[in-house]
């Protein structure tokens, strides 16, 4: 339980691989506790602050983690209260900080005496910060951009565990055939509503052990992310440049029907894309390059350029709950500057008549529609061109837009632009 800047899913998956639990139910509980305590961190800290005799910054990382896990069990699980307290103390002893057992025990017992979470004080923003565990700046920003009702729905949706969604590898199966195979194998699964390629697993367990993984019949990808490539509606057999390609979901999706050159600035991420493509039986060309700088001339020109740009990630907070605490409001403008540089390079690599698809897994207008509007103002050779026959997709001003909420989607934005000359 050491502090780290790594993503929770990476740390947790690594730990469960290195120290596997015999019972899958135990692994499920560990996962729920880790994700749940992270999603509810601001709420848990507000409760802890009522009972701690020192500032939370003064509490050792492992002790603070144990306190958060204990409070989470008390108020957000069905675990009996005495068990939540006892198991937390045992965990402290197991990691060698039994000296803090008395301190933690005292706080958890005081919290356990409460019949429910204490009601937050202050204005609506303060209440939403407490209820949904999002920083105040983000609450205000979403209220301003989406209105109070939708903002509230988005905030609450971020605290729901996402389903496992996969995209059918159409080079090996069509979706209906794969759905039938999975159901015949006893897997509880259903088709996605919006994506023509997606399947949702009800109780997935370990991804690598699911039917069809080893055979390369599907790839994990949220439905909203699948919609970006669906919305792109690229012509078959086009030569496509995928900038910022890691972790490779869209690159592999594109490679099912096109010749793909996948570029990423991080050379260490390219082997993972290569392994995924190999598992799926797909071929693509990999290239390390900084997409904010002029691209290697040897790459040539492309029929289509897809830019899944680095962004604030505000549409994926249910999958990466720690990100809501790491992001600062000023990060958005800084990332928007990087996105503009990548758009410029992508535009240069595109043939006249080609398609430029710009996407971000963010809800923010500055990274989405505002970014595209700014690009179009300085590039009269480009025009917005929504795809044909996809009126069922969620759009806004001709662009693809999905938002966190009761629909169960991540937040994505995508624009489809035609280079006229």
Would you please indicate which residues are annotated as catalytic (active-site) residues? 361
Sign of CA dihedral 43, 44, 45, 48: positive
Show the tokens assigned to 228: 């970006």
Question: How many whole angstroms separate alpha carbon 214 and alpha carbon 284?
Answer: 20
CB burial of residue 115 (10 Å; 0-12, 13-18, 19+) = exposed
Integer-rounded Cα radius of gyration of the chain: 23
Q: E strands, 56-117, where?
A: none
CA dihedral 125, 127, 133, 134 (to 10 degrees): 0
| H, E, C per residue of 374-417 | HHHHHCCCEEECCCCCCCCCCEECCEEEECCCCCCCCCEEEEEE
Question: How many whole angstroms separate alpha carbon 188 and alpha carbon 114?
Answer: 39
189 DSSP β-pair partners: 201
Q: Which helix (H) or strand (E) holds 175?
A: helix 175-184
């Amino acid at each position: 339980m050491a502090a780290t800047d790594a993503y929770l899913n990476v740390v947790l998956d690594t730990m469960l691989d290195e120290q596997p639990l015999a019972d899958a139910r135990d692994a499920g509980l560990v996962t729920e506790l880790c994700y749940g305590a992270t999603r509810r961190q601001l709420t848990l800290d507000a409760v802890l602050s009522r009972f701690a005799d020192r500032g939370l910054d003064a509490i050792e990382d492992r002790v603070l983690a144990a306190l958060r896990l204990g409070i989470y069990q008390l108020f957000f699980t069905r675990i009996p209260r005495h068990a939540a307290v006892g198991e937390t103390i045992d965990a402290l002893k197991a990691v060698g900080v039994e000296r803090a057992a008395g301190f933690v025990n005292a706080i958890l017992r005081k919290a356990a005496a409460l019949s429910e979470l204490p009601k937050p004080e202050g204005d609506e923003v303060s209440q939403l910060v407490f209820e949904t565990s999002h920083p105040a700046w983000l609450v205000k920003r979403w209220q301003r951009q989406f209105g109070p009702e939708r903002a509230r729905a988005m905030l609450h949706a971020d605290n729901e565990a996402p389903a496992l969604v996969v995209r059918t590898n159409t080079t090996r199966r069509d979706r209906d055939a794969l759905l039938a195979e999975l159901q015949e194998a006893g897997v509880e699964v259903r088709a996605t509503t919006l994506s023509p390629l997606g399947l949702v697993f009800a109780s997935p367990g370990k991804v690598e052990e699911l039917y069809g993984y080893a055979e390369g019949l599907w790839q994990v990808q949220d439905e909203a992310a699948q919609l970006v490539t669906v919305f792109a509606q690229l012509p078959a057999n086009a030569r496509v440049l995928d900038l910022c390609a890691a972790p490779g979901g869209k690159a592999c999706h594109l490679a099912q029907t096109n010749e793909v050159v996948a570029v990423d600035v991080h050379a260490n991420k390219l082997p993972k894309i290569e392994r995924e493509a190999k598992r799926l039986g797909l071929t693509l060309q990999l290239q390390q390059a900084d997409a904010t700088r002029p691209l290697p001339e040897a790459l040539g020109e492309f029929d289509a350029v897809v830019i899944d740009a680095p962004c604030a990630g505000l549409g994926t907070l249910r999958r990466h709950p720690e990100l809501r605490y790491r992001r600062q409001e000023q990060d958005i403008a800084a990332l928007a500057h990087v996105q503009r540089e990548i758009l410029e390079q992508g535009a240069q690599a595109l043939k006249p008549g080609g398609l430029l698809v710009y996407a971000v897994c963010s809800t923010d207008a500055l990274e989405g529609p505002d970014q595209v509007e700014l690009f179009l103002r300085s590039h009269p050779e480009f025009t917005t061109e929504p795809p044909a026959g996809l009126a069922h997709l969620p759009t806004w001003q001709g662009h693809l837009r999905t938002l966190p909420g009761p629909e169960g989607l991540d937040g994505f934005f995508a624009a489809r632009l035609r280079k006229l000359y």
